[in-house]
A and B are shown apart, each in its own frame.
Chain A
């Protein structure tokens, strides 16, 4: 199941490039919103990175069910004797890795545009991994829902954004500490919060996914 997802992702890697360009472009636009104030840009670099990642995630997430919708393959998938839960986790892991990759790819953009070289790259990496996991779990569930609706473009962010506020808060905070320095060692607590969010939502959404795709 996972292999199929990866195969799909590899085949649509042009898509990934496009989303990356979108992400980088949004990071550029954020700097125009603030102005050429190097200090301010550096201070808010973490926020911009995650906002860019969040906006890009709406693109990747809605795409993840596009293939199924195109060929009505969703019904076919459900006929295979795998539980819907397996489908969910395969898609969620694929989305997660794609978002994490996107996040990592955007780091150099952040470093260059905002003069935001991370003082603690390890923590930054962990934050990106956990934060994108936090986005992927509910995102995949809602992508499955909205893929079948007319208003999918508006509904996915509408449902998804308020939900991931804690993940966003924690990711931005942890990233900010990784970039600007963490004299009091608070980064660990934010990462713990992220971990808790990820644990809760990966289990909860997996549990509920079956109801979402049943006919």
Chain B
């Protein structure tokens, strides 16, 4: 098969944790608690989630208000410097950079979570359909998935974004999410197929359990392990992809509600003279993406005893 390669890698991941049961979950947690990689990742995410929750009270200024506007001169491209009450200075429109960073965490985490949930939901439908029915349904769904996987993810996101007349935060989320649908779909299908052949499913079938009950109560719960790992990693990918779209000028047009990717994309024209406008949001993106990656990787290790990392 042409795309055999990618398929086999995702399937391999699928099979690696398909035998997970409740006892594995318990032992996985025991391993996680002692894993420094997990602890560092969880700490990073915990801090940023707390910051996002507390942002409205912590932010010293309104992130949308051009408080320092009088200091900004378009002709000389001046950026308001660090000053009393503005610990990071202003941005190119005279808004408080610190407040925008703080509140940006809300929007960025929202983008990550929504994109992952939508991508996972779509992949769930595809994967369960293909994995549960098998046969020609499986072939049709998987060919469609192959085609989606053959378009580079960024270009796929761009072409989805193009379908909307104007760009908003939601269209960005949707574009980032749809890219993940085939990946989740293939992963779930693989785990579901592995479940189909397993003894407990055969036993359930022999007992005359209804097919829908087999799919949703016997196959799906056991197939979720690798999907949870993938979802954690996708949280990081979604933030970076959204930033990439903004960087290409395909981000949300309205920037009154700050988002890190958008801030980074908006700073690209003045990065040579005022790198701090790019470095702060980029630093935040890298930290949060790293946090999700570390948690995802350690989850993968914990769920798969065979893996040596």
A, B from the same assembly: no
A residues near B (Cβ < 8 Å) are: none
B residues near A (Cβ < 8 Å) are: none
